[in-house]
Amino acid sequence: MSENTMNNLKIGVDVGGTKIEAVLVDAMGTVLGSARIPARHGNDAVIEDIVAVAHQAAGERFDEVRAIGVGTPGTVDSASGHVGNIVNLDVVSLDMGPLVSQRSGVPAHVENDVNAAAVGAATVLGGADGMAGTIAFLNFGTGLAAGIVENGVLMHGYSGAAGEIGHIPVEPHRLKCPCGQYGCLETVCSGASVGRLWPNADPPMPDLIRRAKKREAEAVDVLDMVVRAIGDTIQILAQSVDPRLIVLGGGMAKTGEPLVEVITAELRRRESQCRFLETLDLPARLRLAPVDQPVGAIGAAMAA
């Protein structure tokens, strides 16, 4: 590996609703430095904080940085760097990429946060070039969406909507979605929707699983509703892009192995009725997102 490649340093910034995290990585995606600060609201504060945390992560090596990648919630145009509607940070419209580049003096690239996490997961699992084949990162956060990486390259689709699986309106309870449709998968199996369906605990999913295992009737009914929607989500994702791995991420995935167990049970139930699904062996493709590495920030850097 050439010295030039070894010195190909990038910064990745993961913008969240409460914190902004940055990492300095080398060409292999190895984290060399990191920093985290609380998130502030408003356009100017968000740009200032991204640049500030990038400087903190890089320290004295900032002058060696070739690019800054940013992963952010909201509606992202990755070609122009424009971001709209970061609700939790009071951002309606922001030319994030150009402004970060202008204020930092470093070229900047912006991706949707789920897409960035998908690249990060593929990097952590497979190295700098990502894992061979198609990797899907299924994010159970405030919403429900997938990031899809094929041989290390993000799939955006024609309009950037690739992976917006949460807004497929097939959930039979037909709950109203903020997007305007009824029955979106996101209305039942996103992290936020599970919190609404099971407001008895925080976090809700571990408590819901525990109580369902005790055969508490209400918990059994709610968990069945949630897990069937997760099963539909995974099946739609698997039968449309046929990923090698489906990485479960987002706040709800912090439930850990108990979540994998209930999802696996649902997928095995479906397999028992369908030879086609049995041949796909979807449970074998499930992985939990690495919890010991900042995959969102790493992916933002590697996508830059």
Domains parsed from the chain with CATH numbers: 3-118+293-303 (3.30.420.40), 133-243+251-288 (3.30.420.40)
- Measured CA to CA, the distance from residue 257 to residue 288 in angstroms comes to 8
Amino acid 291: pLDDT? 86
Q: What is the arrangement of strands in the sheet containing 31-38, beginning at the earlier edge strand?
A: 31-38, 19-25, 9-15, 65-72, 108-112
Amino acid 1: pLDDT? 38
> Would you give per-residue pLDDT tens digits along the chain (304 residues)?
344 445 689 999 999 989 999 999 999 999 999 999 999 999 999 999 999 999 999 999 999 999 999 999 999 999 999 999 998 899 999 999 999 999 999 999 999 999 999 999 999 988 766 678 899 999 999 899 999 999 889 999 998 889 999 999 999 999 999 899 999 999 999 999 999 999 989 899 999 999 999 999 999 999 999 999 999 999 999 999 999 999 999 999 999 999 999 999 999 999 999 999 999 999 999 999 988 899 999 999 999 9
Amino acid 94: pLDDT? 97
Q: At what angle do helices 43-58 and 96-104 cross, to 10 degrees?
A: 50
- Measured CA to CA, the distance from residue 128 to residue 28 in angstroms comes to 4
- Measured CA to CA, the distance from residue 234 to residue 219 in angstroms comes to 22
Query: How many CB atoms neighbour CB 97 within 10 A?
Result: 25
Q: Are 296 and 14 in contact (CB under 8 A)?
A: yes
Alpha helices in 132-172 (DSSP H): none
- Measured CA to CA, the distance from residue 11 to residue 161 in angstroms comes to 26
Which token pair is 60? 């004295």
- Measured CA to CA, the distance from residue 182 to residue 101 in angstroms comes to 40
Q: Are 145 and 165 in contact (CB under 8 A)?
A: yes
3-state secondary structure (DSSP) of residue 116: helix
Which token pair is 66? 């070739």
Beta strand pairing call for 65-72 and 108-112: parallel
